[in-house]
Structure 1
Amino acid sequence: QPVLWAVMVSLAEVWRAHGVEPAAVVGHSQGEIAAACVAGALTLEDGARVVALRSKAIRALSGRGGMVSVALSSSGVAELVERWGGRVSVAAVNGPSSVVVSGDADALDELMDVCRERGVRARRIDVDYASHSAHVESIEGTLAEALAPVAPRESSVPLFSTVTGEWLDTAEMDGGYWYANLRRTVEFAPAVEALIAAGHRTFVEVSPHPVLTVPLQETVDVAGADAVVTGTLR
Structure 2
Amino acid sequence: SQAAAGVGGVIKMVMAMREGVLPKTLHADEPSTQVDWSEGDIRLLTEATDWPETEQPRRAGVSSFGISGTNAHAILEQAPEAEEAEESESEAGVVDGPVAWVVSGRSAAGLRAQAGRLREFVAERPGLSAADVAFSLATSRSVFEHRGVVTGAGREELLGRLGALAGDEVVSGVARGVADVRGRSVFVFPGQGAQWVGMAVGLLDSSPVFADAVAECEVALSAYVDWSLTDVLRGAQGAPDFDRVDVVQPVLFAVMVSLARLWRSVGVVPDAVMGHSQGEIAAACVAGALSLEDAAKVVALRSRAIAGGLAGRGGMVSVGLPVEQVKERIAAWDGAISVAAVNGPGSVVVSGDPGALDEMVAELEGEEVRVRRVPVDYASHSAHVESIREELLKVLADIAPRSSQVPFYSTVSGELVDTAALDAD
**Alignment partner, residue 252 of structure 2:** 4
Choose which of 397, 403, 406 in structure 2 pairs with 1:148: 397
**What whole-Å deviation, never above 9, does each CA across 1:49-72 have from its counterpart, x for those lacking one?**
110000000121111110001111
Partner-residue secondary structure (3-state), 1:175: coil
**What whole-Å deviation, never above 9, does each CA across 1:67-119 have from its counterpart, x for those lacking one?**
00111111121111111111001000011111100000000000100111111
**Alignment partner, residue 16 of structure 1:** 264
Partner-residue secondary structure (3-state), 1:68: strand
Choose which of 284, 309, 318 in structure 2 pairs with 1:36: 284
**What whole-Å deviation, never above 9, does each CA across 1:136-167 have from its counterpart, x for those lacking one?**
10111100011112120000100111234321
Choose which of 335, 340, 353 in structure 2 pairs with 1:91: 340
**Following superposition of structure 1 onto structure 2, how do residues 132-211 of structure 1 map, counting pairs within 5 Å?**
132-176=381-425
Q: CA separation in 1, counterparts of 2:254 and 2:396?
A: 18
Q: Gaps spanning 5+ residues in structure 1: where?
A: 177-234
Q: Report the aligned-residue RMSD.
A: 0.9
Q: CA deviation at 1:4?
A: 0.3
Amino acid at match of 1:51: V
TM-score w.r.t. structure 2 length? 0.41
Tell me: higher relative CO, structure 1 or 2? Use CA pairs within 8 A at least 6 residues apart.
1
1:123 aligned onto 2:376: no
1:61 aligned onto 2:310: yes
Higher helix share: 1
Q: CA deviation at 1:173?
A: 2.0
Q: CA separation in 2, counterparts of 1:174 and 1:48?
A: 15
**Alignment partner, residue 207 of structure 1:** none
Q: CA separation in 1, counterparts of 2:346 and 2:384?
A: 25
Partner-residue secondary structure (3-state), 1:162: coil
Partner-residue secondary structure (3-state), 1:111: helix
Amino acid at match of 1:139: I
Q: CA separation in 2, counterparts of 1:100 and 1:73?
A: 11
Q: CA separation in 1, counterparts of 2:278 and 2:414?
A: 16
Partner-residue secondary structure (3-state), 1:174: coil
Choose which of 299, 308, 326 in structure 2 pairs with 1:51: 299
Amino acid at match of 2:412: V
Pair member with larger Rg: 2
Same amino acid, percent of matched pairs: 65
Q: CA separation in 2, counterparts of 1:18 and 1:76?
A: 44
- Kindly tell me the number of residue pairs found equivalent between the two proteins: 176
Q: CA separation in 2, counterparts of 1:164 and 1:95?
A: 15
Q: CA deviation at 1:2?
A: 0.2
Amino acid at match of 1:54: R
Q: CA separation in 2, counterparts of 1:102 and 1:25?
A: 26
Amino acid at match of 1:76: Q
Q: CA separation in 2, counterparts of 1:76 and 1:22?
A: 35
**Alignment partner, residue 189 of structure 1:** none
**What whole-Å deviation, never above 9, does each CA across 1:23-47 have from its counterpart, x for those lacking one?**
1111001100000011110000111
Q: CA separation in 2, counterparts of 1:12 and 1:118?
A: 43
Q: CA deviation at 1:123?
A: 0.9
**Alignment partner, residue 79 of structure 1:** 328
Amino acid at match of 2:287: A
Choose which of 70, 82, 88 in structure 1 pairs with 2:319: 70
Amino acid at match of 1:109: D
Amino acid at match of 2:320: A
Paired residues of 1:102 and 1:132 also in contact (CA < 8 A): yes
Paired residues of 1:74 and 1:97 also in contact (CA < 8 A): yes
